[in-house]
Chains A and B, each alone.
Chain A
Amino acid sequence: MKMDFMGVHHIMTDRITLNYEVSAEDFTRAGEASSDVKKKLKQMGVEPSTITKVAIAMYEGEINMVIHAQGGQINVVISPDEVLMKLADRGPGINDIEKAMEAGFSTAPDNIRALGFGAGMGLPNMKKYSDEMQIETEIGKGTTVTMKVFLS
């Protein structure tokens, strides 16, 4: 364990729960939930490299809720050992998770690509930068992505 992290253990004795509503197709607010979590982690003195991991993983998940699903809810629990992110949407579900996880695979339409999205790197980034990731999906119902980033 790194020294600069020891302090956080003392400050963070409780869990902090944060809830965000993500609205569909609202690009003006996309990334706000991730920015807010980043800000909170920074205030808590969490190591910058850990904050980067959370920011990347959560931003990609948040964007996917906006561009591929009809929005949804994000629930974040920060405890002394980990950041737990649960992103639940009411979208179309993912037909082939293995395919969706492939780097470069994207079903994003042209108007979304024109904004800089649709590199097909979102899910691979989420997998890479989180320490644990789980996807539950049901066609026509929605998708829930759960990710953990360990704080030690």
Chain B
Amino acid sequence: MKIKDLIDANLFTVLNQGKDVEQEITKPFCCDLLSICMSKTPKGAAWVTVMGNINTLAVLSLTDASCIILAENAVFDEPALEKAKSEGITVFRTELPVFESALAVYNLRND
């Protein structure tokens, strides 16, 4: 499954469409504590979190996650949105809780 497939599925609101929508999504991954995310996020993961600040983007690029999904309608602050735009990172938002968000990605991937 590619990022563009997740966009086309219309499961989540697209806050920012990144530059590489052809990138593969490997699996969903849920975590909010950045030290744990930093060492455990799988490459290419669709990272489900409620942390929407600039540090989320730093961790995404260091771990090579493919995109961010903000669950629980979590706030993505202005500096973070600007950085996502300038770096071309795809960010989604949904009112779904963390588990349901990840499950939606998982189900779509296994369709």
Contacts and interface: CB of A to CB of B under 8 A. Distances in A.
Interface in A25-56: 27-28, 30-32, 34-35, 38, 48, 55-56
Interface of B: 32-39, 43, 49, 51, 53-56, 58-59, 61-63, 79, 83
A35 B36 contact: no
A28 B54 contact: yes
Identify which of A32, A63, A116, A119 gathers the most chain B CB atoms within 10 Å of its CB.
A116
Interface of A: 27-28, 30-32, 34-35, 38, 48, 55-56, 59-60, 63, 115-117, 119-122, 125, 128-129
The prevalent SS among residues of B at the interface is helix
B39 A119 contact: no
The prevalent SS among residues of A at the interface is helix
Contacts of B33: 116, 119, 121
Contacts of A115: 34, 51, 53, 55
B79 A28 contact: yes
Identify which of B37, B62, B63 gathers the most chain A CB atoms within 10 Å of its CB.
B62
A60 to B, nearest CB: 7
Nearest to B53: A115
Identify which of B36, B43, B55, B63 gathers the most chain A CB atoms within 10 Å of its CB.
B55
Contacts of B58: 30-32, 34-35, 59
Contacts of A116: 32-34, 37, 49, 51, 53, 55-56
B45 to A, nearest CB: 13
Contacts of A48: 43
A115 B62 CA distance: 17
Contact of A60 (B35, B49, B56, B63): B35
B36 A121 contact: yes
Contacts of A122: 35
Contact of B35 (A28, A31, A38, A119): A119
Given A27-B53, A28-B54, A116-B51, A59 B36 contact: no
Identify which of B35, B36, B37 gathers the most chain A CB atoms within 10 Å of its CB.
B35
A35 B61 contact: yes
B40 to A, nearest CB: 10
